[in-house]
Structure 1
Amino acid sequence: MEEKKFDINTLIGFVLMGAIMFWWIYSTQPTPEEIEAEKNKTEQVKEDTTVTNPTTSEIILQAGDSVTLAKAQTELGSFAYSTTLPSAKDSETILENDLLKLVISNKGGQIKEALIKKYVTYDSLPLYMIKDNNASFNINFGTTDNRTLNTKDLFFEPSLTKKGETQILSMKLKVSNNQFLEYQYEIKPNEYMVDFNIRSQGLSNVFNSSQQINLDWNLEGFRHEKSIRYENQQTELYYEKDDENIDYLSIGGEDDAEENDVNWIAYKQHFFSSILISEQAFDNIKLKSKTLVEDEEVDTTFTKAFYLKAPLALQGGELNYNMNWYIGPNDYQILKKYDRNIKEITNLGWGIFGFINRAVFIPVFNFLKGFIGNYGIIIILLTIVVRIIMSPLVYKSYLSSAKMKVLKPEMDEIAKKYPKKEDAMKRQQETMALQSKAGVSPLSGCIPALIQAPVFFALFRFFPSNIDLRQKGFLWADDLSAYDSVFKLPFKIPFYGDHISLFPILASIAIFFYMKMTQSQQMNMQQPTQEGMPDMQKMMKMMMYLSPIMMLVFFNMYASGLSLYYFVSNLLTITIMLVIKNFILDEDKIHAKIQENKKKPKKESKFRQRLNDAMKQAQEQQAQQQKRKK
């Protein structure tokens, strides 16, 4: 076999070929600028290939491009025209007067911010009802080309005009210059009420009449007050039916309702509300509220969430709704100016309790605040007025107690005379005969207390609903509409909280002494306990201790103005009772008067006659039953 030899020429050829290849690679290498440009191009291609289904907003923001405009037409149909307008961007228009500032967004044509200017939150921040997407106002509708659209995703064209000091903002969602859906806002000077109208023009052939048009209005209520629990208890959804009947959803947990013929819906928070009012009643609406406070002792941003879904009816193929939007304080004096019954959201109590507040306490309170600037002093003066008005009832009650005290020895003798169970009817009959001759009635001591009860419950509603007390201080309380914490506890007590309020403590002490005096007074009127009947003496003792404890526990989170009222009221009542007892009533004169009444012929009333007849009949039946047993 022939031996292979090393060929120098082959080696030289390979070396030359390698050198040429190295030189070619080096000379064709891209510059750093070319590398960066290619990188940007690759990323752009990647971005374009990933976003295959852009949202309506993305389409509108790219509306200058004929490709994205075609996509808009695919997504929006007739409403793609709005993407060609200069207003197809997320910009805002401001409506403002001395009381209210509204920021209206092109996107959705809805209120983006609502600021109540003359109030602040408990921590001195601007008081917003709407901000940071906590609210949504949307109309959902179908089109004749089988699309379902939401106005909150579309852009409206704003047009702001003025008539004197009145500002009018027209927001139009356009199909063309002559075809549009319009929201119109009108804000007048020194008004919380905003005129708000919804109408369409030339859309009868665009709306799909077979598909329901729905108005959706949702809001999460911001926390504005110091006590989360107390504010949450006062926050609820109110609505008025066409028969002017006011109803509301439960304040606890989650609640919903379906109603017909509803005139207005109020998302009522403790001291501020957003109320949507319509001249044309809503039919077949759905309402819902949901508590967002999981732990009442932990700081939170929102208290409750409110939801409304209301079908909108077409008139001749078009929308035409005249509405109003109240965004402002729950001030009874302001709300009653509007002839729409919205003043009822201020919870002054039902029936006689609300009547007392409207007819007595609100006028007296407003009169006093007209020349007194300190609201703690106003509460004290209001309390004095109430106690003076009620003093004749206190006198009547105490006089009845004194008469019963004078008669008590004779009533005890009757009880000794008939100690047996079967003699209960005779004992009761003779006791009543003695009281009738003496001109004394045990009911005369109870009736004044019953008359005072509505006043108690009326004021229980009046103070928590009175926005005038909000952030007004007195003594150590910095806000008479909130609790007056004087000491922060390092732990939380169930039902009581994590702080100590002083006014409830003072009120509890005053109530204890008042109950002690009342118990002493009632004991004078107490008749001997009959078998089978509850021991009233034990019940009164229990109430003497239970009432102050309830005040101490449950009022620890309540408005300090309410506790201040009860403290001063009970002090005044105790003082009046001591004055009556020591300086006005004379037991010797009362005794002499009773003895004189006994001598006079007494004509029994028809009620007393019927009562005596009933007791005699019961006594005879009891005697017959005893004979049968024997």
Structure 2
Amino acid sequence: MDKRTLIGIILIILITMLMPYYQRLIMGDRPLPEQRLAQDTTQVADTSALTRTEPEEAPQLTAEVEPVEETVPEEITVIRQDTTYREIRVENQYLIAVLSNEKGGNPIHWELKHYKYYLGGNVNLIHDNGLELEFTNRDGKVISLSDYRAFVRFPDHDNIVLDENNPTAEVEFYLPVAGGKIVKKMIFYYDRYSVDVVVYFEGLQNYVINRRYLFSWENGLPTTEENIRDDLSFSRAYVYMAGELEDLDVSKVEEKQADFNGRVNWTAIRNKYFLASLIPANPDETYGAMLKASGVDDGGILYKYFSCTIDMPYTPEQSVRDTFTVYLGPLDYDVLKKYGVDLQILVMNKDWYERLFRPISLLILPAFKLLHSVIPNYGLVIIIFSILIKIILHPLTKKSYQSMSEMQYIQPLIAEIREKYKHDPQRMNKELMRIYKEHGINPLGGCLPTLLQMPLLFALFIVFRSTIQLRDQPFVLWITDLSNPDKLYLGVDLPLIGDNIHVLPIFMALTMIWQSRMTITDPKQKFMVYIMPVFMLFIFYSLPSGLNLYYSVFNVLSMIQTNMIKKKMHPNGLPEKPAAKAAPPAAKGKRKTEPKSRKRTKK
């Protein structure tokens, strides 16, 4: 890799890393309406209160029924709650869900069977409280289904296993209320990460204030990755309305709230690899959405808690019935695309640079998955993929190397002209352009092919860093997870290093040094042989091993390719410096060189 390529990579990386801070410096954080939260946000365990808005004057709703004056018929009286605690386990092809009637029929466990937690066991996407159904009655009380132990209408058994012969199952919870009831029915499918939730109100039309109710997902998602900071950097809440995606994030200990009016296609909360989303069956019947975010410092780590809410109309009828799809699963492009509501736009869409290169990344991803359908080891897929990319880029690489070789060939002439006309920049540039034209050299020929490769290389960077395909995928030996840095344990705790080292980024830096030694010929530039690889080692040391494997293989292939091009172009090495050719311009001026230039032009 030549000096200009290295500088180009470094500059693009620096721009990528510093642009968000620059935008924040000149523009500030996007103003959003903030809301003070009722509970102390310094306690992580108390964050379930962060996602519910209750009037300060409203008394807390308890299981006991308070006396109601006859002049206030709008007060809701709970007839009874179930005295028996029940848990219902539902298992399908992808997940194991556990529902409890303790909080109005909420999922308390949502285990993904094909995704492992780094500490062992499967990933569980339930952080604390999940689904919430609530409205405000006419005396100002917030009625939340999760405050009550609901009855279970069906099933009559507590363990459901779905398969091809038994593809669906329904679990219905209900809460009897004076004058009617509240029902939440959950429909599971054999081959889906999602569940359909049917919300049913009967006989409550005289009690619901503002003719609306809220359907929410509270407390976001738990962190699932070993690198907690990296996982949290991807976490945020979204709302998708009329083809526009809006997001909410926090960057410090703070609380934020954003309200949106209009037709809601879906709301969602994500971390690095997983997603919770609420999708209304009929977006035209939604009032709007609300996103909330809270940042809580715990041990120097900023934990983020999100909620997303869909504001639904409560029509003045005897009964109200709405259906939602609740997705709790991986951020897998193909899986999300099947839902037909553009959920897949959240894949490789974290920051502006991901959105910039996303069209190229979306071309790379299916090719990457196609290779894996034939080769089961993703490490081997990365190696083969890097070979294919190197073959595709070979014409550009060859052109770049040819231009650099030609520039090296005429360096004595260039040095002579710069020395001769150092006090006349205009004449110097004119003479340099004459030399370039005379020898048929494009001064940008070595740079442009390299720049044309950069979008592809950064698109690959995004695919390897942020897609779920490499998560928990082993390669060989100590490389057990291509989505995380490789760790070779030393058996001893060393200062500044710890008990393990990351081998692949070190190997990548060594390949960069060797490659630079092959291309740098100017003794004054030999310091670049070591400075750039050390800088890249610092950047890549904590990045996923899949990325380091790709760039290491890419560097090795580049060295092989450079040797092949050199042998093909110059069997005996680079041509000698054209000292003899430099003499005539100095002795005779430009009379002899200009005719040569004209003759070459005629030819």
Q: Tell me whether the two structures share a fold, i.e. TM-score over 0.5.
A: yes
Residue type matched to 1:570 in 2?
N
Give 2:398's aligned residue. Answer: 395
What are the residue-to-residue correspondences of 1:140-219 with 2, within 5 Å? 140-144=134-138, 147-160=141-154, 165-175=167-177, 179-209=180-210, 213-219=213-219
Tell me the CA shift for residue 447 of structure 1.
0.7
Q: 2:439, 2:242 → 1: CA distance?
A: 57
Tell me the CA shift for residue 102 of structure 1.
1.9
SS at match of 2:374: coil
Give 1:267's aligned residue. Answer: 269
Contact 1:56 1:72 in 2 (8 A): no
Tell me the CA shift for residue 556 of structure 1.
2.6
Tell me the CA shift for residue 431 of structure 1.
0.5
Q: 1:344, 1:326 → 2: CA distance?
A: 15
SS at match of 1:334: helix
Tell me the CA shift for residue 200 of structure 1.
1.9
| Corresponding position: 1:286 with 2:291 | yes
Residue type matched to 1:436 in 2?
K
Residue type matched to 2:171 in 1?
L
Going from structure 1 to structure 2, the CA distance change for 1:545 and 1:184 (only over 3 Å counts) comes to farther
Going from structure 1 to structure 2, the CA distance change for 1:304 and 1:541 (only over 3 Å counts) comes to farther
Give 1:616's aligned residue. Answer: none
1:407 to 410, 429, 438: 410
Q: 2:498, 2:437 → 1: CA distance?
A: 52
Tell me the CA shift for residue 401 of structure 1.
0.9
Contact 2:236 2:247 in 1 (8 A): no
1:357 to 341, 361, 364: 361
Give 1:135's aligned residue. Answer: 129
SS at match of 1:81: coil
Same amino acid, percent of matched pairs: 27
Q: 1:315, 1:570 → 2: CA distance?
A: 65
Give 1:232's aligned residue. Answer: 232
Q: 1:519, 1:257 → 2: CA distance?
A: 55
Q: 1:367, 1:455 → 2: CA distance?
A: 18
What are the residue-to-residue correspondences of 1:304-323 with 2, within 5 Å? 304-316=304-316, 320-323=321-324
Residue type matched to 1:203 in 2?
L
Give 1:610's aligned residue. Answer: none
Give 1:338's aligned residue. Answer: 339
Going from structure 1 to structure 2, the CA distance change for 1:362 and 1:146 (only over 3 Å counts) comes to closer
What are the residue-to-residue correspondences of 1:421-436 with 2, within 5 Å? 423-436=424-437
What are the residue-to-residue correspondences of 1:479-558 with 2, within 5 Å? 479-487=481-489, 490=493, 493=496, 499-520=500-521, 544-558=529-543
Going from structure 1 to structure 2, the CA distance change for 1:444 and 1:590 (only over 3 Å counts) comes to farther
Give 2:243's aligned residue. Answer: 243
SS at match of 1:451: helix
Relative to its length, the structure with more helix (as a share) is 1
Q: 1:69, 1:120 → 2: CA distance?
A: 47
Contact 1:258 1:286 in 2 (8 A): yes
Give 1:82's aligned residue. Answer: 80
Q: 1:578, 1:252 → 2: CA distance?
A: 51
Contact 2:348 2:355 in 1 (8 A): no
Q: 1:589, 1:548 → 2: CA distance?
A: 30
Q: Which runs of 5+ in 2 are unaligned?
A: 1-58, 156-161, 581-592
Residue type matched to 1:582 in 2?
K
Q: 2:293, 2:555 → 1: CA distance?
A: 42
Give 1:465's aligned residue. Answer: 466
TM-score of the superposed pair, with normalisation by structure 2: 0.75
Residue type matched to 1:413 in 2?
E
Greater shift, 285-294 or 321-330, is seen at: 285-294
Q: 1:403, 1:253 → 2: CA distance?
A: 57
CA deviations over 1:392-442 (Å, ceiling 9, x no partner):
11100011111212222222222232122xx01110111112212322111
Going from structure 1 to structure 2, the CA distance change for 1:254 and 1:321 (only over 3 Å counts) comes to farther
Give 2:558's aligned residue. Answer: 573
Tell me the CA shift for residue 542 of structure 1.
7.0
Contact 1:291 1:304 in 2 (8 A): yes
CA deviations over 1:434-459 (Å, ceiling 9, x no partner):
21232211111111111111122112
Tell me the CA shift for residue 576 of structure 1.
0.7
Residue type matched to 1:511 in 2?
M
CA deviations over 1:112-146 (Å, ceiling 9, x no partner):
22111222211222321116xx2243333222355
Higher relative contact order (CA 8 A, sep 6+): 2
Contact 1:249 1:257 in 2 (8 A): no
SS at match of 1:436: helix
Going from structure 1 to structure 2, the CA distance change for 1:251 and 1:508 (only over 3 Å counts) comes to farther
Contact 1:192 1:326 in 2 (8 A): yes
Give 1:439's aligned residue. Answer: 440
Contact 2:221 2:276 in 1 (8 A): no
Tell me the CA shift for residue 213 of structure 1.
4.0
Tell me the CA shift for residue 383 of structure 1.
0.7
Aligned residue-pair number: 508
Give 2:38's aligned residue. Answer: none
SS at match of 1:510: helix
Q: 1:308, 1:542 → 2: CA distance?
A: 53
SS at match of 1:219: coil
Greater shift, 225-234 or 314-323, is seen at: 314-323
CA deviations over 1:575-616 (Å, ceiling 9, x no partner):
111211123346559989xx998344649xxxxxxxxxxxxx
Tell me the CA shift for residue 508 of structure 1.
1.4
Tell me the CA shift for residue 239 of structure 1.
3.4
Larger radius of gyration: 1
Residue type matched to 2:235 in 1?
T
Q: 1:556, 1:78 → 2: CA distance?
A: 60
Give 2:256's aligned residue. Answer: 256
Residue type matched to 1:78 in 2?
I
Going from structure 1 to structure 2, the CA distance change for 1:562 and 1:325 (only over 3 Å counts) comes to same
Give 1:63's aligned residue. Answer: none
Q: 1:590, 1:356 → 2: CA distance?
A: 42
| Corresponding position: 1:328 with 2:322 | no
Q: Which runs of 5+ in 1 are unaligned?
A: 1-53, 60-67, 297-301, 524-536, 604-630
Tell me the CA shift for residue 541 of structure 1.
6.4
Give 2:27's aligned residue. Answer: none
CA deviations over 1:28-84 (Å, ceiling 9, x no partner):
xxxxxxxxxxxxxxxxxxxxxxxxxx986654xxxxxxxx7979999995342233x
SS at match of 2:541: helix
| Corresponding position: 1:112 with 2:97 | no
Q: 2:359, 2:526 → 1: CA distance?
A: 34
SS at match of 1:239: strand
Residue type matched to 2:395 in 1?
P
1:384 to 375, 384, 387: 387
Q: 1:500, 1:199 → 2: CA distance?
A: 57
TM-score of the superposed pair, with normalisation by structure 1: 0.72
SS at match of 2:445: helix
Going from structure 1 to structure 2, the CA distance change for 1:258 and 1:141 (only over 3 Å counts) comes to same
Q: 1:462, 1:598 → 2: CA distance?
A: 49
Tell me the CA shift for residue 315 of structure 1.
2.9
SS at match of 1:78: coil
Residue type matched to 1:81 in 2?
I
When the two chains are superposed, the root-mean-square deviation of aligned CA atoms in Å is: 3.7
1:419 to 422, 426, 431: 422
Q: 1:503, 1:236 → 2: CA distance?
A: 31
Q: 1:241, 1:590 → 2: CA distance?
A: 65
Q: 1:78, 1:228 → 2: CA distance?
A: 44
Give 2:4's aligned residue. Answer: none
Going from structure 1 to structure 2, the CA distance change for 1:224 and 1:245 (only over 3 Å counts) comes to closer
